[in-house]
Structure 1
Amino acid sequence: MSRAFRRILTAIVAVALGVPVMAAPTGAAPTGAAAGRVPADGSALPPGFVDQTVFTGLVAPTAVAFSPDGRVFVAEKRGTIKIFHGLTDTTPIVFADLSRNVYDYEDLGLIGLALPAGFPRDPYVYVSYTYDAPIGGVAPVYNDTCPALYNCLASGRLSRLRISGNTLVGSEQVLLNDWCQQSDTHSMGDVLFGPDGSLYVAGGDGASGDAVDYGQLGHPTNPCGDPPAPVGGMMMPPTAQGGALRSQDIRTPADPTGLSGTVIRVNPPSGAPLPSNPLYGSRDRNVQRIVAYGLRNPFRLTFRPGTGEIWIADVGFRTWEEIDRIVDPVAGPVHNYGWPCYEGMLRQPVYDAVNLSLCESLYAAGPAAVTPPFYTYAHNQMITPVDTCAANRGAIGGLTFSPTTGGGYPATYRGALFFTDYLRTCVWAMLPGVGGVPDPTQILAFGRTSGLPVQLVTGPGGDIYYVSITGGAVHRFVYR
């Protein structure tokens, strides 16, 4: 997930108690055919759509993946992967149990799940998760607990599992163990295959989700050993490079680069950087892998159909949620999306106030030194003038594109970018504009979800599916 369970529960309680909501419309109202599809009440689906429960009885599901042979794989946060033999199956089998290695605590756990395009002929299941041990350590260290915040040093893993039939063959093959994790949030994000068969993986900054964090937190301080101090050393502005500043680590070549706050592109069998990556000429193997950085919690990824564009749901801090776009991750350039120096379109005020050198040098370079989000919304704003989902909070939980041709949805939604916010429990559709690129001025309120959504994915027949972590279910939006 993208926020700690305790914050989710706080949000649920707030809604139940009727906490007042500040709302300010953003963007232009949809026009023409789009206007006709906007429900009068954003909590209702558009006419003809039904929210259908596909799978239920799951334990905190986080991701779903569809096999070409009709099977459906579902990951659970605790580290189990289940297989359904079709969309009507009600009795799944457990394919893999990684719970001994998976650190299932607050936001941490098994998050990413992907199947290669040639599956099952290419017989591997790929996962990304929080590993219950520091980098180089042996799990389990904490057994899904943490005695004191910032004192449970963990890491992130990218692995693959060989499958024969429905059976796990051999043991987990670890491709990467990186992403130093000092907090209970902003851990691993999505794992996703690109159109060319390469593998993309996202990881968060591993820093505090609530406080300004430049490495000074924890006992000992600076648990990840970020420059300039050793583990337990004094981390002070302006020179500190720890905490959330790990998202800018590529800018400090004097020390090895970590993968926190990045999107990487790797060779699926090995996790090695691909020679076609923009920064492959670097001497640092991690730098060779990176295709985007300066991200806070790039929780979900998707590709725009017919292109190589990556779209990122990056969970925000105190004010803004972001949708970021990588136009060409192969040709580059590799963009800096600015976290923690920027949030949304603006300087992040509490990090700006600390006067950290990594941020101050970025500010001095001017706005062009960072890539702004493609679309951003504030926690106190409605996304469309007609929806009822504004709740003075936000945590973008997923995004996916509907097909540009075919599928069972009305033509209005062809090629639309669907996105969801799991604290608002709503879904919106950003309609395509010039060149098929989503148009932020043409956003439709699509409706509410059942439970808190942590993933959107386009499934068989072009239907949009969502994973409800609190509902223990996978749903789909069907048009009849």
Structure 2
Amino acid sequence: MNRLAAPFALIFGALALLSAGSGTAQTVPADLTMTDIGAAGLSAPIAVRSPNDGSGRTFIVTRGGTIRIWQNGALLPTPFLAISVCQSGEQGLLGLAFHPQFATNGKFYLQLSRFNAASCTSPMADQVTMEYTVSVGDPNVADPASAREILTVKDVASNHNGGDLHFGADGFLYISMGDGGPQNNPHGFAECQWWKTANNNPASCLSSNPAGTGFAMLGKILRIDINGTTSSPSTELCGNTAGNPARYRIPVDNPNVGTSSTCDEIYHYGLRNPFRFSFDRSNNDMVIGDVGQGTWEEVDLITNGSGPQNLGWSTCEGRQLFGSSTTCNFGLLPILNYQHTGGRCSITGGYRYRGPITQLNGMFIFADYCSREVFFGLPDGGSPSGFSATRWESAPGVAVLVPSNPIGFGEDAFGNLYVTGQGGSVYRFDSVSGNSFLFGNGFE
């Protein structure tokens, strides 16, 4: 029997897990489980996504470049798409987002490490946003020939690639990029909003792109409008190939519009490796799991309408000073952070639960890649950040673990939450006693 344990001290220890605005303790059903959905044969499933097209299909993305459809309790035999991607280090097929009008236009977007036949590290693989459409004759198979490169980000290492992407309620596409990989952010990629070289001088942004060897959009959340193009783009469309029309345009309220020597795609900055992020399907708040370095992991909550933010890396790690910093240089504090103790090393997550299990409604659910623990968080007026979190335990001191290292989360059309294991399985959070509607697990 699974239940929530008392909050542990490493995440802003509070005395109770509280529900938003109620002041009363909120718990999860005692019979909460992670159910293996039976999607056998997958290799490193990294994302679970569902289009808003009424089909009830759930799409599972594997890091190796394959997308499979799970429907009516089974994987369809034919892959939706299979492409070649670089897989050195943390590279791969890392994210999938369906166009808000996917039901009518069939468009979807991938974030991936571009495949290089000779080597994925010399030169380093670019991080690329691609557009595809479904085939004309079969909605369960994508058309490989429809591939269009939308945006390209130059990279310096095979780790810290970010790689998630989602459409916000504003209709714009948000893309996460890591800080490039070098430890301690020595080049200042996460702070600089213009071209930078790997020169070990974090204070120096450049006046222009130095013969194509500069890096501009690492350590950021990008925001673009893919429903239009830019026929004569300026040099400040840093993800576009110079001299060519851009296959996207910049939202007019992006923060760098109207300024000089800044990349117009940048929306949020100061991130280390926002490997997974999500939008709250209830209110469009953004939840980011930003992977820390030596000591702290963090969860950032950017409320809908609060605008662009500086998330603080690398003057701070979590809510703590980093290195020789004397001041945390950020505009938005993480709502949660936890230390690298007990085998913890890297946050994966997460989502704010809005599915059929009523007791979980509003909880932030995330996991740690190394320890495989699952955490639940909610507002708590008694903690320094206003939020507290606790570890899922089956008995006092006994953690409920994801069976293999968790590398992704996702929702289906019903709001059910899934976590993926690097070992190849996909698990759904289930509860019979807490389920608010009969067919909330997608079966009829």
Q: TM-score, normalised by structure 2?
A: 0.76
Is this contact kept in 1: 2:10–2:339, CA < 8 A? no
Give 1:396's aligned residue: 347
Does residue 29 of the first structure (1) align with residue 15 of the second (2)?
yes
Residues matched between the structures, number = 375
Quote the residue 1:474 is aligned against. Answer: 426
Q: Which residue of 2 aligns with 1:162?
A: 133
Shift of 1:124: 1.1
Task: Choose the corresponding residue for 2:250, options 267, 273, 278.
Answer: 273
Q: Would the aligned equivalents of 1:23 and 1:392 in 2 still touch at CA under 8 Å?
A: no
Tell me how far apart the structure 1 counterparts of residues 185 and 170 of structure 2 sit (CA, whole Å).
37
2:377 is aligned with 1:377? no
CA distance in 1, matches of 2:11, 2:87: 38
- Please identify, of 443-452 and 112-121, the stretch whose mean Cα deviation from structure 2 is larger: 443-452
Q: Deviations over 1:65-105 (max 9, x none)?
A: 11331222221111122223x14123432222221xx1111
Residue 261 (1) aligns with residue 219 (2): yes
Aligned amino acid, residue 338 of structure 2:
Y
Q: 1:272 to 1:469 in 2, by over 3 A?
A: farther
Look up the match of 1:421.
368
Shift of 1:268: 2.5
CA distance in 2 between counterparts of 1:48 and 1:199 reads 37
One-letter code of the match for 2:406?
P
Please list, as runs of the form range in 1=range in 2, the aligned pairs for 1:69-84 lying within 5 A after superposition: 69-84=55-70
Which structure dedicates a bigger proportion of its chain to helix?
1
For 1:430, the aligned partner's letter is G
Distance of 1:432 and 1:107 partners within structure 2: 33
**Helix, strand or coil: the match of 1:188?**
coil
2:124 corresponds to 1:153: yes
Q: CA deviation at 1:322?
A: 1.0
> Cα deviations across residues 269-312 of structure 1 (Å, max 9, x unaligned)?
4333211323222345x622211111010011112343342111
Q: CA RMSD for the aligned pairs?
A: 3.0
Alignment of 1:317-466 (within 5 A): 317-328=293-304, 332=307, 334-349=308-323, 352=324, 366-367=327-328, 369-380=330-341, 391-403=342-354, 407-410=355-358, 412-432=359-379, 440-441=387-388, 443=390, 445=392, 447-466=400-419
Q: Distance in 1 between matches of 2:162 and 2:388?
A: 31
Instruction: Give the letter aligned to residue 302 of structure 1.
Output: S
- Map of 2:158 onto structure 1: 184
**Once the two structures are superposed, what CA deviation does each residue of 1:394-427 show, in whole Å capped at 9, x if it has no partner?**
2111111112xxx4314x3211111111212122
Q: What SS does the aligned partner of 1:28 have?
A: coil
Aligned-pair CA distance for 1:162: 0.9
Deviation at 1:252, TM superposition (A): 2.9
Alpha-carbon displacement from aligned partner over 1:208-229 (angstroms, at most 9, x marks no partner): 3xx446359xxxxxxxx944x8
Residues 413 and 431, structure 1, Cα contact 8 Å, conserved in 2 = no
1:122 CA displacement: 2.8
- Can you give the 5+ residue segments of structure 2 that lack an aligned partner in the other structure? 1-7, 189-194, 210-214, 228-246, 394-399, 433-444
Looking at structure 2, the residues matched to 50 and 59 of structure 1 have their Cα atoms a distance apart, in angstroms, of 23
Tell me: CA distance 1:24–1:50, structure 2 relative to 1, closer, same or farther (3 Å).
closer
Looking at structure 1, the residues matched to 253 and 155 of structure 2 have their Cα atoms a distance apart, in angstroms, of: 29
Once residues 260 and 11 of structure 2 are traced to their aligned partners in structure 1, the CA distance between those partners, rounded to angstroms, is 48
Contact 2:347 2:369 (8 Å CA) reproduced: yes
Moved more, 267-276 or 371-380: 267-276
TM-score (norm 1): 0.71
